[in-house]
Chain A
Amino acid sequence: AQSVAQPEDQVNVAEGNPLTVKCTYSVSGNPYLFWYVQYPNRGLQFLLKYITGDNLVKGSYGFEAEFNKSQTSFHLKKPSALVSDSALYFCAVRDRIGGANNLFFGTGTRLTVIP
């Protein structure tokens, strides 16, 4: 079965400091991994995805994520946090089981950037 785990419900970081939002995955085949962000009263917005190739993936708004196969992790990072980064972040994984583009999401991590 495929799944992702986001071990932290809440992450607080001071503005200007580096941030990390953690995600680990479990999938039977090659993982396709995604990060989405949800701002208040808004739908999910795509940040980045890992399909194949370089383990470090760069995405929108200065975010990046590192795929680590040995640790089955795909942590989201940003070198310098902004207050506007405060939002709910979702990690998702997909494989081809069932055929259709089934994304399995984590429970989300709420990031608060403190001014």
Chain B
Amino acid sequence: ETGVTQTPRHLVMGMTNKKSLKCEQHLGHNAMYWYKQSAKKPLELMFVYSLEERVENNSVPSRFSPECPNSSHLFLHLHTLQPEDSALYLCASSQEPYNTDTQYFGPGTRLTVL
């Protein structure tokens, strides 16, 4: 599980704040993902990056802005969020994005928007 790390583990922010979530993978993978996990709902894939290029963006509001400076790091920049954005945000990585490779998940960041 230490292959994918996420910071912070918990975050409380107001609707006018700007914050960033960080993910780092130590597995030498080429693909990284952001998911949103809300209670009683399926995990929602938000973004997919392959070798620092965004390859998927599943209709995510612009108040979520991803950044992938290199294949080991992935950020999710947050601004003017809404209370319904409160959720567990999970980062994952896999060797490649275009096949059936197993995705390895980080522990998540529990976000609360007040």
Binding site for B on A (CB under 8 A): 4, 32, 34, 36, 41-46, 49, 51, 90, 92, 94, 98-108
Q: How large is the interface on B (under 10, 10 to 19, 20 to 34, 35 or more residues)?
A: 20 to 34
Assess whether B45 is in contact with A43, with CB atoms less than 8 Å apart.
Answer: no
Judge whether B59 is part of the interface by a CB distance below 8 angstroms.
no
Provide the residues of chain B in CB contact with A43, threshold 8 Å. 1, 4, 6, 90, 92, 105-108
Assess whether B56 is in contact with A98, with CB atoms less than 8 Å apart.
Answer: yes
Of A45, A94, A101, A102, the residue contacting B105 (CB under 8 A) is A45
A43-B106, A44-B105, A49-B102 are known contacts. Are A103 and B45 too (CB-CB below 8 A)?
yes
Judge whether B42 is part of the interface by a CB distance below 8 angstroms.
yes
A43-B90, A107-B40, A107-B41 are known contacts. Are A99 and B55 too (CB-CB below 8 A)?
yes
* B111 → chain A closest CB, angstroms: 14
Whole-angstrom distance between the alpha carbons of A98 and B54 in the complex?
13
Whole-angstrom distance between the alpha carbons of A28 and B42 in the complex?
19
Provide the residues of chain B in CB contact with A41, threshold 8 Å. 107
Assess whether A101 is in contact with B96, with CB atoms less than 8 Å apart.
Answer: yes
Assess whether B40 is in contact with A49, with CB atoms less than 8 Å apart.
Answer: no
Whole-angstrom distance between the alpha carbons of A4 and B43 in the complex?
11
Of B40, B90, B92, B98, the residue contacting A100 (CB under 8 A) is B98
Assess whether B107 is in contact with A46, with CB atoms less than 8 Å apart.
Answer: no
Provide the residues of chain B in CB contact with A103, threshold 8 Å. 43, 45, 103
Provide the residues of chain A in CB contact with B97, threshold 8 Å. 100-101
Of B41, B45, B96, the residue contacting A102 (CB under 8 A) is B45
Kindly name the residue among B41, B50, B55, B100 whose own CB sees the greatest number of chain A CB atoms within 10 A: B100
